[in-house]
Amino acid sequence: MEQRRSILDAILDNIGDAVVLTDGEGRVVRVNRAFEDLTGHSGAALVDAAAGNALEMAEGLARVVRATGAGRWVGTLRCAGGGDCAVELRISAVDDMGGVAAGYLGIVRSAEGLPPEPEASRFGHDTLTGLPNRDIFVDRVEQALLLAHRARQSVALLMMGLDRFSLINDALGHSAGDSLLVEVSRRLRKCIRETDTAVRLDGDRFALVMSIADVDDSVIVAEKVLNAIKEPFAVDGQEVVVTFSIGIALYPEDAPDVESLGKAAENALHFAKTSGRNQYQFFSKDMNQKAKVRLDLEARMRRALANQEFIVFYQPKVSAEDERLVGAEALVRWMDPDRGMVSPGEFIPVAEETGLIEPIGEWVLRRSCEQMQGWYEAGLKPVRVSVNVSARQFRSRTLLDIVKGVLTETGLDPRWLELEITESMLMNDVEGVVRKMAAIRELGIGLSIDDFGTGYSSLSYLGRFPITTLKIDRAFIADVDTNPKTAEIARAIIGLSRGLNLEVVAEGAEVVGHVNFLRSHGCHTVQGFYYSKPLPPEQFEQKLREGKVSRPG
């Protein structure tokens, strides 16, 4: 034993390579002479890690060893005298038993004069932001769990996504989006300790892995991140404000391994997004259940699209003056063979999230145009059909081509088509929205603002949008006959529409009192249960034949 040690000493002190030995936690156990020459630190100072630069280097080494494990690392270490030395470190595990190393052996070379690593070839790093990427993410989390397990500590995994990043990409272009991501990464790095890892997963999604002594530690970091990101960014000379949503899951409290920890954090992130964004949410068991339901719904929707389980209902729009049928809103229904009719309120939001809204929306558009053209060709007098376009569809670059294509394929005269978009879509990027609207209007179709009055859009912009119709949200119609304040708002919206020369439609008129109010205040087009519920195609065809929707009773 004694002899082996002196042989080892002799080897260590006579080879030219700088060598460092650490324990399993990365604490320096000994270094050789070449190491002392290279770094200027004495071995004793490093082992004691007493203070100052020796402490900084010892801690730096420990971090590198813990984060890298066995492998290669290139970076800087704090040498004696306070300067940073560029080094290359090749680390091997010693007495590795089932992934738990008793110690590490590091061979250090000066990286001074070595060509800098081209970013693209740094394995496991994102070329844009320089952060570690998905390739080494799992590894890092695994290591963190292992260490935490031994130290009886916890690990917090924070999954983070920028809110509405695609809006910025669409509005300012991809290179602006890229510079934003670079700046976001820089701010992220500032929020964390060096022992924590920030990762760019893909697109606008990031993750943080940190060992924590207390749940509060993760709250502090999450709040720091939210605040750091909230500060305006300067991108291409423009000020841009973005927010983060963060999902947090804890090991071992929420999940026992990397995979389930990742899923739990994903679920929490989803919850943060759907609870209004710009916030963090901790994972809860309840979320898992909700996530299952969502996944299940998504799979069923895909099947429904393939199996043609969707159907379009039409709700008549009626002239309050003479009960003439003047239009129809196309409203999608899902005839689920297992569950019966599913209302759009249940599946549209999930379709929107998953992107399925794009094929579903396209299908509704095509079907509505096809049916209206079919009725026209059967000799019926057509009415204008209004098709709802969701936020995601409206943003999509393909919307215009899809609408053009559908009009050509079906042969429907564009004046019989109107698109409904909700007010909340108008709030960002006014210029872009105006351009898109103008292109839509150019096709000869109408444009309506749905649910008007609920989206808090700035009235000053309203005049700039090339729209044709305002639809008063049904919240303002519900008690228009009994509540003087609501009545005043409804009156104001009607006046506003007339002033801007827009058609005004009231939705959700249920009782005669609503209709009387609307008629006497100059809102001529009324949609609601009072006249008719949304109807399946064959029943709507009957109304089209009659040209009138008589009041019940």
Instruction: Give the residues lining the site for ligand C2E (CB under 6 A).
Output: 315, 331-332, 343-345, 348, 357, 361, 364, 388, 390, 420, 450-451, 474, 507-510, 527-529, 534
CA–CA gap between residue 466 and residue 485 (Å, rounded): 29
Residue 344: name its binding partner from Mg ion, ligand C2E, none (Cβ under 5 to 8 Å by kind).
ligand C2E
Strands (E), 130-231: 154-162, 197-202, 205-212
Q: How far is CA 448 from CA 419, 429, 474, in A?
A: 6, 18, 15
Question: Is 238 or 307 the residue whose CB approaches ligand C2E more closely?
Answer: 307
Question: Is 266 or 451 the residue whose CB approaches Mg ion more closely?
Answer: 451
Question: Is 39 or 315 the residue whose CB approaches ligand C2E more closely?
Answer: 315
Is the separation of the CB atoms in 151 and 66 below 8 Å? no
Residue 390: name its binding partner from ligand C2E, Mg ion, none (Cβ under 5 to 8 Å by kind).
ligand C2E
CA atoms within 13 A on the CB side of 353: 14
CA–CA gap between residue 96 and residue 505 (Å, rounded): 74
Question: Is 132 or 446 the residue whose CB approaches ligand C2E more closely?
Answer: 446
CB of 371 to ligand C2E, least distance (A): 13
CB of 510 to ligand C2E, least distance (A): 4
Question: Is 62 or 357 the residue whose CB approaches ligand C2E more closely?
Answer: 357
Dihedrals φ, ψ of 22, to 5°?
-125, 165
Residue 348: name its binding partner from Mg ion, ligand C2E, none (Cβ under 5 to 8 Å by kind).
ligand C2E
- Show the binding pattern over residues 375-414: x = contacts Mg ion (CB under 5 A), - = does not: -------------x--------------------------
Q: Structure tokens of 298? A: 């998504």
Residues with Cβ within 8 Å of residue 7, at least 6 apart in sequence:
none
Residue carrying structure tokens 């404000």: 241
Binds Mg ion (CB under 5 A): choice among 126, 358, 423, 451 = 451
Q: Which amino acid is at 352?
A: E
Strands (E), 260-354: 279-282, 310-319, 325-336, 340-342
CB of 346 to ligand C2E, least distance (A): 9
Q: Structure tokens of 274? A: 């759907």
Q: Is residue 420 within the footprint of Mg ion (CB under 5 A)?
A: yes
Residue 14: name its binding partner from Mg ion, ligand C2E, none (Cβ under 5 to 8 Å by kind).
none
Residue carrying structure tokens 């800098």: 116
Question: Is 255 or 505 the residue whose CB approaches ligand C2E more closely?
Answer: 505
| The 18-23 sheet, strands edge to edge | 28-31, 18-23, 103-110, 84-94, 71-78
CB of 447 to Mg ion, least distance (A): 12
Is the separation of the CB atoms in 518 and 320 below 8 Å? yes
Q: How far is CA 159 from the centre of its chain?
A: 11
Q: Which stretch binds Mg ion (CB under 5 A): 35-43, 359-367, 479-487, 502-510?
A: 502-510
CB of 267 to Mg ion, least distance (A): 31
> CA end-to-end span of the chain, whole Å?
105
CA–CA gap between residue 355 and residue 349 (Å, rounded): 10
CB of 507 to ligand C2E, least distance (A): 6
Question: Is 20 or 426 the residue whose CB approaches Mg ion more closely?
Answer: 426
Q: Is residue 527 within the footprint of Mg ion (CB under 5 A)?
A: no
Among 487, 476, 483, 351, residue whose Cα is nearest residue 423: 476
CB of 402 to ligand C2E, least distance (A): 13
CB of 507 to Mg ion, least distance (A): 5
Q: Is residue 450 within the footprint of Mg ion (CB under 5 A)?
A: yes
CB of 388 to Mg ion, least distance (A): 5
The residues of the shown chain that bind Mg ion, judged by CB under 5 A, are: 388, 420, 450-451, 507
